[in-house]
């Protein structure tokens, strides 16, 4: 028996073919550059969030601020002697469900109005929200109307009212325990979330704030059906992950303050689930108006019909790739 020589399967590939393939790949990358950049920023958030954290996490050392609020009067509605950068305006958003008229939420909201006597107070409903978007953000109106999930409309509206009026945006299930005066000296404040980013259920900002403007302006770029799945779509297009990503990639985050507890109790201001913080009683996910519940309810209406398809295609592609690689090696 002679030694068998394997038939040579090595074909010389014409350099022109290689060049064309390379050009195609580059063209593809170029066409997908926005998607690639946005995906990169969203995925990179956990790695970038804490960069320069000392400059924007509120603290006694850096800002002379008492994050426990123990040293501030519960009725302090101004930052005096510091200038008030945040105007005296409260915003609540109640789209769709008719919760605006539900007595429980009226009472919870009233606690915040009572803590801030004399402040302007907006309760944004379907009609007033639509009018605001049409009048002041006409370029975004079609997109805003077409959002697939109700919570996306609410989230986008938070940034728009905050940009246009400034003030404080509050979820309907936040019962106020004290006035926000001490925080008004900062041009932007939001409570830390765990493990990264911040919650958008409570935000304070100056009118026409540059960062909040970025949140409004970037809505269109990030408006994708991320992975074809409801949860990432909401979080990445308008939700906390979106806002935190824009924060993380802001060139100067110094004045975009994040409110967290002292080192001994870093989660003091987190608004996950039913909790009591120095500022709020968060009535939490038993209610439609908690952020989590609103999202689940909202998503439930559009239960992910695409999910099995995306998953199936993913598994199939993975399987084919692995088989190919194995065959080549074999
Ligand atoms: C960032 O902003 C702060 C004020 O918000 C300013 O004092 C600081 O100089 C800025 N840093 C840079 C690098 O521009």
Q: What does the pLDDT look like over 47-104, one tens digit per residue?
A: 899 999 999 999 999 999 999 999 999 999 999 999 999 999 999 998 876 555 567 7
Atom 10 of ligand 1 has which residue's CA nearest to it? Answer: 252
Note whether 306 and 182 are same-domain residues: no
Q: Are residues 134 and 121 in the same domain?
A: yes
Closest atom of ligand 1 to 255 CA is 5
Does one domain contain both 311 and 243?
Answer: no
Same-domain status, 176 and 295: no
pLDDT at 304 over 50: no
Higher pLDDT, 29 or 256: 256
Domain count, the chain: 2
The predicted model gives 210-218 an average pLDDT of 98
Tokens of 215: 């949140």
**pLDDT over 60 at 253, yes or no:** yes
Same domain (yes/no): 164, 295: no
212 C-alpha to ligand 1 centroid (Å): 17
Write the DSSP string, 294-310. HHHHHHHTT--TTHHHH
Would you state the structure tokens that stand for residue 27, as one six-digit string? 């063209």
For residue 122, give the CATH number of its domain. Answer: 3.90.550
Ligand 1 centroid from CA 102, angstroms: 45
Backbone angles phi, psi at 165, to 5 degrees: -105, -25
Ligand 1 atom, smallest distance to 252 CA: 1
12 within a domain of the structure (yes/no): no
Across the range 142-166, mean pLDDT stands at 95
| pLDDT tens readout for residues 181-191 | 999 999 999 99
For 8, 163, 328, the CA distances from 4, given in Å and listed in that order, are 12, 76, 20
- Minimum-distance ligand 1 atom for the alpha carbon of 187: 5
Residue-averaged pLDDT of the chain: 86
**Domain coverage including residue 96:** 49-290
Domain assignment of residue 269, yes or no: yes
Residue 23 inside a domain? The answer is no
Going by alpha carbons, the residue nearest to atom 5 of ligand 1 is 255
Do 195 and 240 share a domain, yes or no? yes
Do 67 and 163 share a domain, yes or no?
yes
User: Among 252, 255, 256, 257, which is best to mutate for testing ligand 1, by the most ligand atoms less than 8 A from CB?
Assistant: 252
CA dist 132 and 135 (Å) reads: 5
Task: Report CA(251)–ligand 1 centroid distance (Å).
Answer: 9
> Which band of pLDDT confidence, cut at 50, 70 and 90, is reported for residue 37?
confident
Confidence at residue 303, expressed as pLDDT on a 0 to 100 scale = 44
Q: Is residue 30, in this structure, part of any structural domain at all?
A: no
The reply to whether 200 and 114 lie within a common domain is yes
The answer to the question of residue 63 being in a domain is: yes
Query: Helix 126-136 crosses helix 138-146 at what angle (to 10 degrees)?
Result: 140
Show the tokens assigned to 157.
Answer: 């509206």
- Separation in Å, CA 3 to CA 6, 7, 296, 329: 9, 12, 67, 22
Report d(CA 180, CA 198) in Å as an integer.
18
Distance 243 CA to ligand 1 centre (A): 20
* 17 part of a folded domain: no
Is the shortest distance between the CB of 252 and ligand 1 below 6 Å? Answer: yes
Task: Read off the pLDDT of each residue in 125-141 and give the average, rounded to a whole number.
Answer: 96
Cβ atoms of 93 and 169 closer than 8 Å: yes
44 is a domain residue: no
Is 284 contained in some domain? yes
Q: Is residue 62 lining ligand 1, measured as CB closer than 6 Å? A: no
Nearest CA to ligand 1 atom 6: 254
**Does residue 318 share a domain with residue 246?**
no
pLDDT of residue 294: 60
Q: Output the CA 254–ligand 1 centroid distance in Å.
A: 6
Tokens for 203, please give them. 């935000």
C-beta of 254 in contact with ligand 1 (< 6 A): yes
Residue 222 — pLDDT band, cuts 50, 70, 90? very high
Give the list of residues 6+ apart from residue 316 with CB closer than 8 angstroms, or none.
none
Measured from the CB, is residue 255 less than 6 Å from ligand 1? Answer: yes
Output 292 or 129, whichever has higher pLDDT: 129
Q: pTM higher than 0.75, yes or no?
A: yes
Which of 12-16, 138-142, 293-297, 323-327 is predicted with the least confidence, judged by mean pLDDT?
A: 293-297
For the ranges 160-164, 172-176, 223-227, 307-311, the lowest mean pLDDT is seen at 307-311
- Of 8-17, 72-81, 137-146, 316-325, the poorest mean pLDDT is in 316-325
Shared-domain flag, residues 164 and 179: yes
Same domain, 210 and 295: no
How many A from CA of 56 to the centre of ligand 1?
11
**Residues 135, 277 within the same domain:** yes
Say if residue 85 is exposed, middle or buried (CB neighbours under 10 Å; 0-12, 13-18, 19+): buried
């Amino acid at each position: 028996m002679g030694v068998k020589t394997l038939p040579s399967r090595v074909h010389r590939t014409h350099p022109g073919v290689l060049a064309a393939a390379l050009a195609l790949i580059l063209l593809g990358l170029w066409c997908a550059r926005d998607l690639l950049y946005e995906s990169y920023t969203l995925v990179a958030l956990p790695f970038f969030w804490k960069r320069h954290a000392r400059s924007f996490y509120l603290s006694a050392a850096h800002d002379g601020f008492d994050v426990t609020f123990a040293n501030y009067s519960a009725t302090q509605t101004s930052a005096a002697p510091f200038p008030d950068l945040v105007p005296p305006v409260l915003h609540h958003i109640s789209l769709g469900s008719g919760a605006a008229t539900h007595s429980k939420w009226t009472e919870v909201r009233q606690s915040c109005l009572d803590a801030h006597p004399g402040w302007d107070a907006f309760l944004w409903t379907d009609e007033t929200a639509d009018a605001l978007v049409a009048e002041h953000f006409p370029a975004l109106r079609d997109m805003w109307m077409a959002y697939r999930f109700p919570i996306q409309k609410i989230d986008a509206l938070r940034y728009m009212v905050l940009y246009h009026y400034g003030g404080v945006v509050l979820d309907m299930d936040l019962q106020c325990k004290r006035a926000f005066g001490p925080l008004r000296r900062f041009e932007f404040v939001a409570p830390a979330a765990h493990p990264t980013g911040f919650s958008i259920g409570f935000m304070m900002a100056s009118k026409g704030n540059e960062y909040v403007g970025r949140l409004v302006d970037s809505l269109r770029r990030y408006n994708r059906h991320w992975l074809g799945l409801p949860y990432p779509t909401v979080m990445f297009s308008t939700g906390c992950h979106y806002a935190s990503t824009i924060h993380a990639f802001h060139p100067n985050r110094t004045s975009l303050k994040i409110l967290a507890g002292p080192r001994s109790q870093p989660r003091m201001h987190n608004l996950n689930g039913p909790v009591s913080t120095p500022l709020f009683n968060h009535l939490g996910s038993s209610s439609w108006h908690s952020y989590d519940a609103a999202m689940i309810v909202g998503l439930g209406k559009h239960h992910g019909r695409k999910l099995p398809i995306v998953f199936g295609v993913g598994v199939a592609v993975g399987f084919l790739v692995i088989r190919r690689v194995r065959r080549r090696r074999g």
